[in-house]
Amino acid sequence: MSNKSLPSGAIFAKFASRYAAQGFEVFPLAPGTKEPLKNSHGLKDATSDMRQISEWAKLCPFGNIGLRTGSGSDADVIDIDPDKGGFETEAAFRKQRKFLPNRAVGITRSGGRHLWVKHHPLIRTGTNRLGKGIDFRGEGGYIVAPGSVVDGKRYRFLCWPGKHLLPDVPSWILDEIRAKQVVKEPRQAPPLTNLAEDEDRVRDALQYISSDGYDEWVKVGMALRSEFGEKGRQLWDAWASQSQKYDVVFQERKWRSFNGVGVNLGTIFALRQGGRVRFYDL
């Protein structure tokens, strides 16, 4: 039976293969719900294998579609929940000229939004990851895919450019995540995916942090040593030398004392947060 001849309510049978053809990993949800089929393995069953999807389509043609986020599908979703303050949080970010990606957008049954982005290892599944009402669906998570219907309300795309045109996670979101990790995971450094890009962001952040304070001087040096190794020394020197307290000999001795653990780039981004005065040009 072709997709065109299927009943209108045969959601999984009509749409699941379309997602799989784009490289997304999917699995069936119980009809009219957000939950996996009873006695299934749920998210662990997700696949883009057409044979398996065809079998599921025969067994549960009217099921909804679960779509695994993370590395398997090479896509993550930023979930804005209006019932939990998500729109207010987004508005607060906009006032700071921090804009969420809007190239690939889905509408949820509650009127919220699913903002699709390319997978990034820092996007970890959880609630309120970016503030109140803004959740992440990344590794270990899934979403109810557009086309599905829950409580008589359909999940749908507002705009969809195709998987190959999904936007990258904005750098300011990665900076927010790293800053939060200083508090929550002070000894766990996040993975770096683009050294040159991270160095540029750090250089920009340091322009708004004074190097006159001893604590700031030490924390920045430790973070640069931890993340960039010896390459971080040049950037630390360029920043620290802007202070009248700069001492070449003391700088060298302190750098050698850093063991490269315990502090990450999130420390620098945390120090940068809220700073509006630009101290230096680096």
pLDDT digits (tens, 9 = 90+) for 68-91: 999 999 999 999 999 999 999 999
**pLDDT tens by residue, 4-56:** 544 457 999 999 999 999 999 999 999 999 999 998 999 999 999 999 999 99
Q: What is the pLDDT of residues 55-68, one digit of tens each?
A: 999 999 999 999 99
Give the DSSP H or E segment for 182. helix 171-184
For the stretch 232-267, pLDDT in tens is 888 898 899 888 888 888 888 888 888 756 678 888
Residues 147-175 have pLDDT tens digits of 999 999 999 999 999 999 999 999 999 98
What's the full length of the chain, in residues?
282
Residue 273: pLDDT band (50, 70, 90) is confident
83 to 86, 88, 113, 173, 227: CA distances (angstroms): 7, 10, 12, 22, 39
